[in-house]
Amino acid sequence: MMKWLFGMCCLVVLNVVMPVYADGTGWVLFDKVQGSVRQHNFDVSYVVLKGGQAETYRWLHGRDGEADIEHLIPMFAEGVDIVRRNDRVYYLLAERPSLITRSERIKELPALLFEDPTKIRKLYDAVAGSSSMIDGRSAQLLRLSAIDETRYHYWLWVDVETGFPLRIDTLAEQDQSRQNRALETWQVTHLRITPEMPGSLAQLLTIELPDTSSAETTASASPQQHELNWLPAGFEIIPEPLHVPQLTPEVLSYWLLSDGLHQVSVFVQRSHQLPTQAYRDGAVTIFVQSDAQRDITVIGPINVDVAQRLAAAVR
């Protein structure tokens, strides 16, 4: 765990901020993006660039009447195959029991593509920008500018023909220069949209997957031993977060926060006498605050200042 944390670093790319103004055109384009990833049959390869590293995935989606199926395949050794059939998501592990959850989307895909747009409109202004070419396709820029200055911004490049997202940059504004730096880039490297669902998905619709009796998420049975007396603007505490058995003996208190788009975890554990430290994995901040009695860990797509304030709010 610590070796993983110490390996974090940031990919920094400067983008000049242009004065923009929200209008309805941006939200029309955003609705087109969400409709494209939900309705089309496709076979997509994409890369995630963060922390000076690149991770490559293959993402397949298909619809057949009421049946809705997705397969996310990591193209690196330690990845986990993920299959979603309607409202069941299967994490298929090679040498361990599969994890099954109930959801209508795969959480490892960009949440912007699936979250209720009414929630996103409360957090962002949408502005349609200029057109450019990405990998031989004509693409239109869509800026999602955070209303709250502590949030990240998003720039999407949208395929003009299909509405499919070709690139998503997660951006943080720099205090001094008022420029944006890209913390994380999600970019399509191959896109194939077809009238019929990919053949491999048709097979996944019919094969037997692990038993779904464990699909219901389980709330932690242990009472909280602490209080969290501050939340970032727009965030709420999820009352019944997914129970993680491996963490139960160690965790004294745990909160999962959500604004409908992002999720932030706050853990309290007995002290391991760690130094207070902060890391970043792309857009995700990992902040650890330690004293003689406890360690407080904050993990999520927030800036370090917000993470520090959350840790300080534990009583």
Taking Cα atoms as reference points, which of 61, 47, 106 lies closest to residue 80?
Answer: 106
The CATH code of the domain that includes 294 is 3.30.200.100
Query: Could you say which of 155, 179, 214 is where a domain stops?
Result: 214
The CATH code of the domain that includes 109 is 2.50.20.10
Q: Indicate the number of domains in the chain.
A: 2
Taking Cα atoms as reference points, which of 18, 96, 117, 109 lies closest to residue 57?
Answer: 109
Does the pLDDT at position 43 exceed 70? yes
Q: Are residues 208 and 306 in the same domain?
A: no
Range of the structural domain that residue 244 is part of: 236-312
Q: Are residues 169 and 106 in the same domain?
A: yes
Contacts of residue 51, Cβ cutoff 8 Å, sequence gap at least 6: 7, 8, 9, 10, 11, 280, 281, 282
Does the pLDDT at position 15 exceed 80? no
Residue 221 lies in a domain: no
The pLDDT tens digits for 203-240 are: 898 888 876 544 444 444 455 788 999 999 889 998 86
Does the pLDDT at position 178 exceed 70? no
Mean pLDDT of 39-52: 94
pLDDT band at 192 (very low <50, low <70, confident <90, very high): very high
Q: Are residues 136 and 265 in the same domain?
A: no
Residue 1 lies in a domain: no
Residue 290 lies in a domain: yes
Amino acid at 290: S
Residue 230 lies in a domain: no
Mean pLDDT of 114-130: 94
Q: Are residues 254 and 180 in the same domain?
A: no
* CB-based burial label for 240 (10 Å; 0-12, 13-18, 19+): exposed
More confident residue, 72 or 77: 72
- Provide the pLDDT for residue 242: 61
Query: Could you say which of 181, 214, 247 is where a domain stops?
Result: 214
The pLDDT tens digits for 146-165 are: 999 889 999 999 999 999 99
Q: Are residues 240 and 209 in the same domain?
A: no
pLDDT band at 248 (very low <50, low <70, confident <90, very high): low
Q: Are residues 154 and 287 in the same domain?
A: no
Taking Cα atoms as reference points, which of 136, 179, 195 lies closest to residue 15?
Answer: 179
> Phi, psi (5° rounding) for residue 292?
-70, -25
Q: Are residues 288 and 163 in the same domain?
A: no
Residue 97 lies in a domain: yes
- Provide the pLDDT for residue 8: 33
Does the pLDDT at position 40 exceed 50? yes
- Provide the pLDDT for residue 186: 97
pLDDT band at 11 (very low <50, low <70, confident <90, very high): very low
CB atoms within 10 A of CB 20: 14
- Count Cα neighbours of 64 within 13 Å in the Cβ-side half-sphere: 14
Residue 271 lies in a domain: yes
Contacts of residue 297, Cβ cutoff 8 Å, sequence gap at least 6: 265, 266, 267, 269, 286, 287, 288, 289
Element (H, E) at 199: helix 199-206
Q: Are residues 149 and 80 in the same domain?
A: yes
Q: Are residues 304 and 188 in the same domain?
A: no
Mean pLDDT of 169-191: 84
- Provide the pLDDT for residue 189: 96
pLDDT band at 274 (very low <50, low <70, confident <90, very high): confident
Residue 139 lies in a domain: yes
User: Residue written as tokens 């977060």?
Assistant: 241
Buried b (16+ CB within 10 A) or exposed e, 65-97: eeebbbbbbeeeeeebebbbbeebbbbeeeeee
- Provide the pLDDT for residue 176: 55
- Provide the pLDDT for residue 3: 35
Q: Are residues 144 and 38 in the same domain?
A: yes
Residue 228 lies in a domain: no
**Where is average pLDDT lowest: 73-77, 220-224, 276-280, 289-293?**
220-224
d(CA 199, CA 60): 10
Q: Are residues 88 and 195 in the same domain?
A: yes
Q: Are residues 171 and 281 in the same domain?
A: no
Instruction: Please tell me whether the overall predicted TM-score, pTM, comes out greater than 0.85 for this model.
Output: no
**Where is average pLDDT lowest: 45-49, 60-64, 159-163, 207-211?**
207-211
The pLDDT tens digits for 23-38 are: 589 999 999 999 999 9
